[in-house]
């Protein structure tokens, strides 16, 4: 599949180069410009001089990479600001469909992400590709994950490779990203070809992720399109096998069932709704997956 994808990409490159067709409406493909270089290297003074001298900020290089893409990939916040102020297209797409916001999330540059959002970068792109939230999860950048969620990112959006952002987090073994998603209300049992995040956690031998997913209601009995449960992707007797075997043979406590039910019913609204209930603080914190309050000893 990877080879087919690479072949198709090469064919597309050859076709567009041969016809001179515009890439994503930004102009003809060119070699990397001085603006690209300055943006990528973080040379803000040079970039400003180029812009003041009339250099175009939306020229695209091979693969439809713009200077704004370059600056975001490298986390060059000052250059990102200069380009945006000069009229750089905030949602420009490269040949893979990635926007500058995708690149900033992948790089883990929180400041670049904030800048792009100030300029109304699209959080939920319309195409069937990796979203900025997917990219943040792929890179293990939990702060960017939280930013995307706070700005309305779709947590159940599927890409064409892994599935939801939670699938990506577990496949890449990024515990913190998975936890941020789950606490925000992501569907723990979302499936792509019947494969859940728990299947990914089992394949990557991540006991910590397995514990986390089960805590949030992960179904250890779910079967993928190969009719396999998560435990069937582990080696008999291994730590991950024993962990999943324990969860399969041990019923959840009534407290845990109640918490999972509340979360499943309310989704991403759970924490807000629960916080307004007339219940003791300890119960609210439990239902909200928050640590218990400290006990003061006099």
pLDDT > 90: percent of the chain? 73
Average pLDDT over residues 27-45: 84
Domains 23-96 and 123-250 are alike in CATH topology: yes
228: phi then psi, degrees, rounded to nearest 5: -110, 140
User: If you average pLDDT over every residue of the chain, what do you get?
Assistant: 88
pLDDT at 8 over 60: no
- The whole-angstrom separation of Cα 14 and Cα 17 is 5
Contacts with 272 (C-beta within 8 Å, 6 or more apart), sequence order: none
> What average pLDDT score do residues 19-37 get?
59
For the domain made up of 123-250, the CATH class stated in words is mainly alpha
- From the number of C-beta atoms within 10 Å of its C-beta (0-12, 13-18, 19+), residue 154 rates as middle
Please check the confidence at residue 212 and state whether its pLDDT lies above 60.
Answer: yes
Q: pLDDT-based confidence at 130, cuts 50/70/90?
A: confident
Could you report the per-residue pLDDT of 82-126, keeping only the tens digit for each?
999 999 999 999 988 899 999 999 999 999 999 999 999 999 988
Query: Which pLDDT tens digit goes with each residue over 37-72?
Result: 999 999 999 999 999 999 999 999 988 999 999 999
CB neighbour class for 209 (10 Å; exposed up to 12, middle 13-18, buried from 19): buried
pLDDT band at 210 (very low <50, low <70, confident <90, very high): very high
Q: Return the residue matching tokens 């000893």.
A: 297
Query: Residue 197 pLDDT > 50, yes or no?
Result: yes
* Backbone dihedral angles phi then psi of residue 162, each to the nearest 5 degrees: -100, -45
Q: What is the 3-state secondary structure (H, E, C) of 211-252?
A: HHHHHCCCCCCCCCCCCCCHHHHCCCCCHHHHHHHHHHHCCC
Judge whether residue 234 has pLDDT over 70.
yes
Q: Which pLDDT score is estimated for 101? A: 98
Residue boundaries of the structural domains of the chain = 23-96, 123-250, 253-293
Q: How confident is the model at residue 21 (pLDDT cuts 50, 70, 90)?
A: very low
pLDDT above 60: residue 268: yes
Q: What's the CATH number for 23-96?
A: 1.25.40.20
pLDDT over 70, % of the chain: 88
Confidence label for 170 from pLDDT (cuts 50, 70 and 90): very high
pLDDT confidence band for 18 (50 / 70 / 90): very low
Position 28 scores a pLDDT of 46
pTM attached to this predicted model: 0.85
Are 34 and 65 in contact, with CB atoms under 8 Å apart? Answer: no
Question: What pLDDT was estimated at residue 30?
Answer: 54
Q: Which helix (H) or strand (E) holds 172?
A: none
């Amino acid at each position: 599949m990877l080879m087919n994808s690479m072949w198709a990409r090469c064919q597309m490159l050859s076709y567009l180069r041969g016809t001179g067709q515009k890439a994503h409406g930004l102009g003809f493909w060119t070699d990397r410009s001085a603006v690209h270089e300055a943006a990528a290297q973080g040379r803000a003074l040079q970039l400003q001089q180029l812009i003041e001298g009339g250099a175009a900020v939306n020229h695209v290089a091979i693969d439809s990479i713009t200077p704004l893409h370059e600056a975001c990939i490298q986390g060059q916040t000052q250059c990102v600001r200069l380009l945006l102020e000069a009229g750089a297209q905030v949602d420009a797409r490269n040949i893979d469909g990635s926007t500058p916001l995708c690149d900033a999330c992948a790089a883990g540059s929180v400041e670049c992400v904030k800048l792009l959002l100030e300029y109304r970068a699209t959080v939920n792109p319309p195409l069937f590709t990796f979203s900025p939230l997917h990219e943040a999860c792929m890179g293990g950048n939990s702060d960017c994950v939280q930013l995307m969620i706070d700005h309305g990112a779709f947590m159940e959006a599927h890409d064409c490779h892994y599935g939801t952002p939670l699938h990506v987090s577990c496949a890449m073994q990024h515990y913190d990203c998975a936890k941020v998603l789950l606490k925000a209300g992501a569907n723990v049992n979302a499936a792509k070809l019947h494969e859940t995040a728990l299947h990914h956690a089992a394949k990557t031998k991540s006991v910590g992720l397995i514990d986390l997913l089960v805590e949030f209601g992960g179904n250890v009995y779910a079967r993928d399109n190969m009719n396999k449960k998560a435990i069937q992707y582990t080696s008999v007797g291994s730590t991950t096998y024993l962990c999943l075997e324990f969860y399969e043979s041990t019923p959840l406590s009534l407290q845990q069932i109640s918490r999972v039910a509340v979360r499943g019913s309310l989704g991403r609204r759970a924490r807000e709704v629960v916080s307004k209930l007339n219940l003791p603080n300890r119960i609210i914190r439990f239902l909200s997956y928050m640590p218990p309050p400290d006990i003061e000893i006099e």
